[in-house]
Amino acid sequence: MPLRNDETALGHHQSAMKKNKIKPFDFQFPDYRPRRIRSHAVLRSLLCETRFAPEQLIMPYFVRAGHGVKESITAMPGQFRFSPDTLLTELDSLAAGGVRALLLFGLTDSKDKKARGAYAKTGIIPQTIRAVKKKFPKLAVITDVCLCAYTSHGHCGLLNGRGEIDNDASLPVLAKMALAHAEAGADMVSPSDMMDGRIKVIRQVLDRRGFKSLPLMSYAAKYNSAFYGPFREAAHSAPGQGKNSPKDRKSYQMEPANREEALREIALDIREGADIVMVKPALAYLDILREAKERFHFPLAGYFVSGEYAMIKAAAEKGWLDEKQAVLEALTAVFRAGADTVITYHAKAAACWLNSR
């Protein structure tokens, strides 16, 4: 596994400085010239503090029923909605580039108030899991566990009679969805709904049904962000489609101004049984990633979301920035902040760029 920040080496360096009574501000020009170690490409590489590799990236995909389907997503240039068969063709090149994990989002035309399609054993995600694992047994298949693409109102949880999000009634449905994915052969499930207590309930159900070894990656600190817009087009999952349902997700996704609340959310999910915790979005919340890593020392994912992807793509299409350099710089920032893995729609392209270095 490529190393990022070598804290042990840093500790030794600081100890040596203390022993020799050298303080950081004692380094000054002309005795200390930082540019010396930037003058040669090899030297810059030798001393690079933050590194990542294709196998640390997770590629998200949108899948829908049908055959031979590959639909362009307008708000996410270069991304598509696949049917299971066309996704298999796509995964040939993904695996060849060294990306070893994918995250699946399902689309369905059969939506209802109870999200029954979310846990159907013959649903689009179980179908896709079986197909992928048969052809690519070494790829790690991660599945998104959320109700928004399966409810007629577009929310991540069920609604009560007053049109409010019914947190506790949503938990067993989410658990049934996670179980359906596990039974189909998923390597990891990833609850993204932000209902209170869902990690505990999903963990208990999976354990009872013989899936004690199946890991959970929790969307632990998921902010109510404007950067999700392109995703909602891609997944046909905009909230508030029902007559009496809320028009946004502010009652369950986090307030962007809050930092301590994010850390409480992460702590809760760790206690409830999460194996990896996630901060979403990643690029706009680097401070949360950094503090989460420093406080919990726990496996940490960052989600480089659809809007962050689309901004770079749009600017690159205008010729305003170099896409390759911008993507690799942005991903480096997410890893530098503390992420151990990054979910990104750039994963396939980034792997190609990394391999060509």
Q: Which pairing describes strands 70-72 and 300-304: parallel, antiparallel, or unpaired?
A: unpaired
Q: For residues 64 and 101, give the distance between their C-alpha atoms in angstroms, rounded to a whole number.
A: 19
Consecutive H or E run containing 18: helix 7-19
111, 280, 313, 348: the catalytic one is 280
Per annotation, catalytic residue among 222, 293, 313, 348: 222
Partners of 60 in beta bridges: 103
CA 353 to CA 344: how far, in whole Å?
A: 14
Q: Which amino acid is at 198?
A: R
Q: Tell me: cis bond preceding 84? Omega within 30 of 0 counts.
A: no
Are the C-beta atoms of residues 240 and 247 closer than 8 Å to each other? Answer: yes
Q: From residue 295, give the alpha-carbon distance in Å to each of 200, 234, 292.
A: 22, 35, 5
What are 326's two structure tokens? Answer: 């911008």
Distance CA 80, CA 87 (A): 10
Burial zone of 199 (CB within 10 Å; 0-12 exposed, 13-18 middle, 19+ buried): buried
Compute the distance between CA of residue 121 and CA of residue 28 in angstroms, rounded to an integer: 66
* Residue 48 CB burial class (10 angstroms; 0-12, 13-18, ≥19): exposed
User: Which is nearest to 337 in space by CA: 299, 283, 297?
Assistant: 283
Catalytic-residue membership of 280: yes
- 341 vs 326: CA distance, rounded Å: 18
Rounded to 5°, angle at Cα 345 from 223 and 203: 55
Q: How far apart are CA 238 and CA 229, in angstroms?
A: 8
Q: Is 340 helix (H, G, I), strand (E, B) or coil?
A: coil
The verdict on whether 293 is a catalytic residue reads no
Name the residue among 105, 102, 98, 28 with its Cα closest to residue 64.
Answer: 105
Residues annotated as catalytic are 222, 280
